[in-house]
Chains A and B, each alone.
Chain A
Amino acid sequence: MRRAARIGGVALTALLLWQALVTLAELPRFILPGPGLVFATLWSSRALIAEHALITALEVLLGLGLGAVLGFASAILLTASPLARSILRPMLVFSQAVPVFALAPILTLWLGYGLWSKVAMALLIIYFPVTSAFFDALMRTPPAWLELARVMNATPARVLWRVRVPAALPGFASGLRLAAVYAPIGAIIGEWVGASRGLGYLMLLANGRAKIDLMFAALIVLAVLTLLLHAAVDAACRRLWER
Chain B
Amino acid sequence: MSDAPALRLSGRAKIGAAPIFGPLSLRAPAGEWTCLLGPSGVGKSTVLRLFAGLGDGIAFDGEAVAEDGVRLDGRVALMGQSDLLMPWLDATANVTLGARLRGTSPGRDRAREILGRVGLSEHADKRPHALSGGQRQRVALARTLMEDRPVVLLDEPFSALDARSRAQMQDLATELLAGRTVLHVTHDAAEAARLGQTILLMTRAGIASFPPPEASTPRLYDAPGTLAFQGRLLRLLMDTR
CA distance A19 to B102 in the complex (A): 66
For A159, give the chain B residue with the smallest CB separation: B101
Q: Are B54 and A155 in contact (CB under 8 A)?
A: no
Chain B residues with CB under 8 Å of A151's CB are: 52-54, 76-78
Binds B, one of A141-149, A214-222, A229-237: A141-149
> Which one of B82-90, B114-122, B226-234 is at the interface?
B82-90
A89 at the interface (CB under 8 A from B): no
| Chain A residues, Cβ within 8 Å of B76 | 151
Tell me whether A158 and B101 are in contact (CB under 8 A).
yes
Asked if B102 and A152 sit within 8 Å, CB to CB, the answer is yes
Chain B residue nearest to A143 (CB atoms) is: B54
Q: Is the CB of B54 within 8 A of A163?
A: no
How many Å lie between the Cα of A151 and that of B149 in the bound state?
11
Partner of B82, one of A144, A154, A162, A169: A144
CB distance from A238 to the nearest CB of B (A): 13
Determine if B100 and A158 form an interchain contact, defined as CB atoms under 8 angstroms apart: yes
How far is it, in angstroms, between the C-alpha of A162 and the C-alpha of B76 when the chains are bound?
Answer: 21
Q: Does chain B have a CB within 8 A of A150? A: yes
CB neighbours (8 Å) of A81 from chain B are none
A152 touching B98, Cβ below 8 Å:
yes
Name the B residues within 8 Å of A149 (CB-CB).
101
In angstroms, Cα B98 to Cα A217, docked, is 58
Q: Is B211 an interface residue (CB 8 A)?
A: no
Q: Would you call B52 and A155 a contact (CB within 8 A)? A: no
Inter-chain CA distance A155–B82, complex, in Å, is: 23
Q: How far is the CB of A140 from chain B (nearest CB, A)?
A: 15
In the bound complex, how far is the Cα of B74 from the Cα of A169, in angstroms? 30
Q: In this assembly, does A153 line the interface, its C-beta being within 8 Å of a C-beta of chain B?
A: yes
Contact A148 B84 (CB under 8 A): yes
- How many residues on A have C-beta within 8 angstroms of the other chain's C-beta atoms? 19
Q: Evaluate contact between B86 and A153: CB separation under 8 angstroms.
A: no
Q: Once the chains bind, are B80 and A144 in contact (CB under 8 Å)?
A: yes
Known: A159-B101, A162-B100, A163-B101. A153 touches B84 (CB 8 A): no
In the complex the two chains form, is B73's CB within 8 Å of A153's CB? yes
Complex-state Cα separation, A241 to B101, whole angstroms: 21
Specify which chain B residues have a CB less than 8 angstroms from the CB of A36 in the assembled complex: none
Across chains A and B, the number of contacting residue pairs, with CB separation under 8 Å, is: 50
> Number of B residues whose C-beta is below 8 Å from A?
20
Q: Give Cα A147–Cα B52 distance, bound, in whole angstroms.
A: 9
Contact A166 B101 (CB under 8 A): no
List chain B residues, Cβ under 8 A from A166. 86, 88
Alpha-carbon distance between A158 and B100 when the two chains are bound, in angstroms: 8
The answer to whether residues A153 and B74 also contact, given A145-B84, A147-B54 and a CB cut-off of 8 A, is yes
Interface residues of A in 195-227 (CB under 8 A from B): none
| Residues of B contacting A241 in the complex (Cβ-Cβ under 8 angstroms) | 88
Query: In this complex, what residue of A is CB-closest to B93?
Result: A162
Residues of B within 8 A of A147 (CB): 52, 54, 78
Do A152 and B80 have beta carbons less than 8 Å apart?
no
Q: Is B103 an interface residue (CB 8 A)?
A: yes
Q: Which of B54-105 contact A (CB under 8 A)?
A: 54, 73-74, 76-78, 80, 82, 84, 86, 88, 97-98, 100-103
A155 touches B103 (CB 8 A): yes
Indicate if B191 sits at the interface (CB-CB under 8 A). Answer: no
How far, in whole Å, are A107 and B76 apart by their CA atoms in the complex?
Answer: 57
B101 in contact with A154 (CB, 8 Å): yes
Which of B53, B78, B101 has the largest count of A CB atoms less than 10 A from its CB? B101
Minimum C-beta distance from B83 to chain A (A): 10
For the complex, what is the distance from the CA of A132 to the CA of B21, rounded to whole Å?
41
Known: A147-B54, A148-B78, A150-B54. A155 touches B102 (CB 8 A): yes
- Whether A158 touches B82, Cβ cut-off 8 Å, given contacts A150-B54, A152-B97, A153-B73, is no
Whether B188 sits at the interface, judged by CB under 8 Å, is no
**Chain B 28-68 against A: per-residue CB contact (8 Å), 1 yes, 0 no?**
00000000000000000000000011100000000000000
28 residue pairs of the A-B complex, CB under 8 angstroms, read A144-B82, A144-B84, A145-B84, A147-B52, A150-B53, A151-B54, A151-B77, A151-B78, A152-B97, A152-B98, A152-B101, A152-B147, A153-B73, A153-B74, A153-B98, A153-B101, A154-B101, A155-B103, A158-B103, A159-B101, A162-B97, A162-B100, A163-B86, A163-B101, A166-B86, A166-B88, A167-B86, A241-B88
Interface residues of B (CB under 8 A from A): 52-54, 73-74, 76-78, 80, 82, 84, 86, 88, 97-98, 100-103, 147
Q: What 4 pairs across the A-B complex have the smallest Cβ distances?
A: A154-B101, A152-B98, A151-B78, A158-B101
